[in-house]
Amino acid sequence: MGRKSSVTVIGSYNVGLIAQAARLPEWGETVFGSGFSECPGGKGSNQAVAAARLGGDVRFIGCIGTDRYGDDAVSMLTDEGVDISRLKRSTIRKTGVGFVFLNEHGDNCIIVDPGANMELLPEDIEAAQSAIAEADVVLFQLESHLDTVRHAMKMARDMSKVVIFNPAPAQTELDSILPFATYVTPNESELKIMSGRRPDEQLTDSEYIDLAREVLRKGPEAVIITLGEKGAMVVSADSYYTIPAILVDAVDTTGAGDSFNAALAVALGEGQSLEEAVHFACCVGAYTVIGHEVIPALPTREQISLFMSVQPGGVR
């Protein structure tokens, strides 16, 4: 590990309500599930905790309610060593909730009610701009109001920060914020959706590269496509390369994208090259999917160092 990474995460906190079933019900149908659990979540919070466990100096800017779930968020983030001095609490909306459904293969789908996350406003970013100024890397997702994301990304880019934009949940009409991103990190479905394609459309590698370069023309330096068990593809204007994944038996893929983005931010903040940082992020993502739920599955730096040391080629 090089110098300590300073990371600010701007985004969501949601309570995760998780259940497992062999399949999802059809409309009007009830199916039996098992293993219900309630756990902290939300892409912003997950990424903040993941970055802190990996050794980053982490600040989290978001908005939660004044309900019990909000109190739980404060306790959890504090215990994980995340700076929450700029965390807003709304008296208007309840803390966000994510309903996570897992099948027997560990695949997931999620319904999110953002709640108080939509109360994080541009003026709150102005009040918290010191948290951006203190960071090497600023990390964003799309579970907050788009105007707030745009405002904060522009502020971070104007301060010459490395800006990682994780376009999840995916949406179209992102042209107004892509110019402020240094790196964009969609998975395959998210890249298709943000490019106006159907998420179930089958594409070749060359077609994914073409879509990524359409995104690049709007301002970012590179698009990093996460490919699950196939690793990640890094696409720049004049080159591309693939970082292979570490093959593991996945138990729960819910937190893979969040841990990948957090690891990428930490590694870049430490001064690692983009290729080194993506390799590290792929290893962290692989480690995360072998555990149950998100927060319990996120590795510490010691755990991921040991995990990487026993892989072919050792630690990179």
* Kind plus residue range of the DSSP H or E element containing 16: strand 14-20
Residue 269, annotated as binding a ligand: no
* 139 backbone dihedrals φ, ψ, rounded to 5°: -120, 130
Separation of alpha carbons 277 and 261, rounded Å: 10
Separation of alpha carbons 154 and 201, rounded Å: 32
Which of the following is catalytic: 57, 83, 124, 258?
258
Spatial CA neighbour of 256 closest among 43, 39, 81, 73: 43
**Is 71 an active-site residue?**
no
* Kind plus residue range of the DSSP H or E element containing 283: helix 274-288
Residue 8, annotated as binding a ligand: no
Residue 221, annotated as binding a ligand: no
Residue 142, annotated as binding a ligand: no
Residue 11, annotated as binding a ligand: no
Residue 143, annotated as binding a ligand: yes
Separation of alpha carbons 253 and 109, rounded Å: 10
Residue 106, annotated as binding a ligand: no
Separation of alpha carbons 120 and 117, rounded Å: 6
Separation of alpha carbons 108 and 110, rounded Å: 7
Residue 291, annotated as binding a ligand: yes
Residue 126, annotated as binding a ligand: no
Contact (Cβ atoms closer than 8 angstroms) between residue 47 and residue 83: no
Residue 2, annotated as binding a ligand: no
Residue 71, annotated as binding a ligand: no
Binding residues for substrate are 42-46, 143, 258
- Annotated catalytic residues are 258
Binding residues are 42-46, 143, 187, 226-231, 252, 254, 257-258, 288, 291
